[in-house]
Amino acid sequence: QLQLQESGPGLVKPSETLSLTCTVSGDSIRRDSYCWGWIRQPPGKGLEWIGSSYYSGSTYYNPSLKSRATISVDTSKNQFSLKLRSVTATDTALYYCARRTDYSSGWYVDNWGQGTLVTVSS
């Protein structure tokens, strides 16, 4: 059974870089029909796509975050990661890593991590 687990600091200072890693277990990250992504949810608010990446390196970002976000995949470790630069308090959120099916398979998130809370504060 596929499992996704986020890891990374729970507290980041303003203007610094938020870095999270998602470890995938139960399946290979080298699957052509799946894309690996990050979704966040500010406290008490709705979900927001940050972006996603195929293991081959093709990436897709939310235009509002594209200038600050980088998603990369490490096939040797079966992990993918998120870096979000120049964070502010508005980046405080529960961050989920997720697996999304591709366009031909319905384009939806079929697996989620449990989420990790990241607070931006000095």
Partner 1 sequence: QSALAQPASVSGSPGQSITISCSATSGDVGSFNLVSWYQQHPGKAPKVIIYEVSKRPSGVSNRFSGSKSGNTASLTISGLQAEDEADYHCCSYAGSSASGVFGGGTKLTVL
Where along the sequence are the contacts to partner 1 (CB under 8 A)? 37, 39, 45-52, 60-63, 96, 100-101, 103, 106-110, 112-115
User: Please, which residue, 108 or 122, has the CB nearer to partner 1?
Assistant: 108
Measured CA to CA, the distance from residue 92 to residue 28 in angstroms comes to 30
Measured CA to CA, the distance from residue 83 to residue 73 in angstroms comes to 12
Q: Minimum distance from CB of 3 to partner 1 (Å)?
A: 12
Listed residue (63, 77, 66, 89) closest to 22, CA to CA: 77
User: Please, which residue, 76 or 108, has the CB nearer to partner 1?
Assistant: 108
- Could you tell me the two tokens for 30? 């080298």
User: Please, which residue, 15 or 114, has the CB nearer to partner 1?
Assistant: 114
* β-pair partners for 21: 7, 81
Q: Minimum distance from CB of 53 to partner 1 (Å)?
A: 10
User: Please, which residue, 79 or 95, has the CB nearer to partner 1?
Assistant: 95
Q: Minimum distance from CB of 54 to partner 1 (Å)?
A: 12
CB atoms within 10 A of CB 96: 22
